[in-house]
């Protein structure tokens, strides 16, 4: 669905992405892991068009989004859903209006009765019910993530992007979010692209995993490929996680 080729991005003298090559397979969950500061968030922002790379290509099917006009990019983005790290809910809007916002903004649904039905159905998909009137300040961290996910999927996007979906959550809530992402992906047959430091989530739900280091994807493959990687950087990163698994 998305092909990234030789992507480069620097900020002043600091090179963050230094020739990233990546294929995001349609209908699969792809997770990018790596050390803090490796450039995972920068990679995601370039792919969704919030940043412009210095060079390289990002193809969404046959369209290179680095070369399209702003209006064309807006049309391409209609295929994207995004769950930002802090859910990025509008503090002044209740749950209903947060989820309905993209439907109203894009004029997908105009009738209030149809909006109510769609929001209720979408909340049910993320395992929440009867919270439409609550404000974000009344929600727990896990509930905010679910509402953010509901807003990301309410327009039926072809691909959903997740920026550290379990940051700030306790282990039990994090695993619940992991199960939710997998269940939702299977029900909707959608494509998911996740950047994460959470290895428990990664090895629970990923179909493909990429390891970002020194501005490049240095290892890519399924769980077994990553787990058995001969690359010392990857092995060191995974060591503590698998040691904990064995001790558990």
pLDDT attached to residue 229? 94
pLDDT attached to residue 37? 86
Report residues of the chain scoring pLDDT below 70: 243-248
Q: Does domain 23-57+158-248 have CATH number 3.10.400.10?
A: no
By CB neighbour count within 10 A (0-12 exposed, 13-18 middle, 19+ buried), where does 214 fall? Answer: middle
Instruction: Report yes or no: 33 and 81 within 8 Å, Cβ to Cβ.
Output: no
36: left (phi over 0), alpha (psi -120 to 50) or beta: beta
pLDDT attached to residue 107? 82
pLDDT attached to residue 222? 96
pLDDT attached to residue 25? 96
Indicate the domain borders of the chain.
Answer: 23-57+158-248, 89-157
Eight-class DSSP state of 62: T
Q: Distance (Å, rounded) from C-alpha 214 to C-alpha 74? A: 31
pLDDT attached to residue 26? 95
Q: Strands 29-33 and 191-195: what pairing?
A: parallel
pLDDT attached to residue 243? 66
């Amino acid at each position: 669905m998305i092909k990234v080729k030789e992507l480069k991005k620097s900020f002043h003298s600091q090179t963050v992405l230094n020739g990233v090559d990546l294929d995001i397979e349609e209908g699969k969950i792809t997770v990018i892991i790596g050390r803090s500061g490796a450039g995972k968030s920068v990679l995601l922002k370039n792919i969704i068009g919030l940043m412009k790379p210095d060079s390289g290509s990002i193809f969404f099917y046959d369209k290179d989004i680095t070369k399209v006009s702003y209006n064309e990019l807006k049309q391409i983005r209609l295929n994207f859903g995004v769950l930002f790290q802090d859910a990025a809910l509008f503090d002044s809007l209740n749950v209903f209006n947060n989820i309905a916002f993209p439907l109203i903004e894009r004029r997908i649904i105009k009738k209030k009765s149809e909006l109510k039905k769609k929001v209720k159905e979408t909340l049910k998909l993320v395992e929440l019910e009867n919270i439409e009137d609550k404000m974000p300040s009344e929600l727990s961290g896990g509930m905010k993530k679910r509402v953010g996910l509901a807003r990301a999927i309410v327009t039926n996007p072809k691909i959903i992007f997740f920026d550290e979906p379990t940051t700030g959550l306790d282990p039990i809530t994090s695993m619940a979010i992991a199960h939710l992402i997998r269940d939702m992906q299977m029900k909707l047959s959608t494509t998911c692209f996740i950047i994460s430091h959470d290895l428990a989530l990664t090895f629970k739900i990923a179909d493909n995993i990429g390891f970002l280091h020194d501005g490049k994807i240095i290892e890519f493959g399924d769980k077994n490929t990553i787990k058995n990687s001969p690359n010392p950087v990857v092995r060191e990163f995974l060591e503590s996680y698998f040691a904990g698994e064995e001790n558990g």
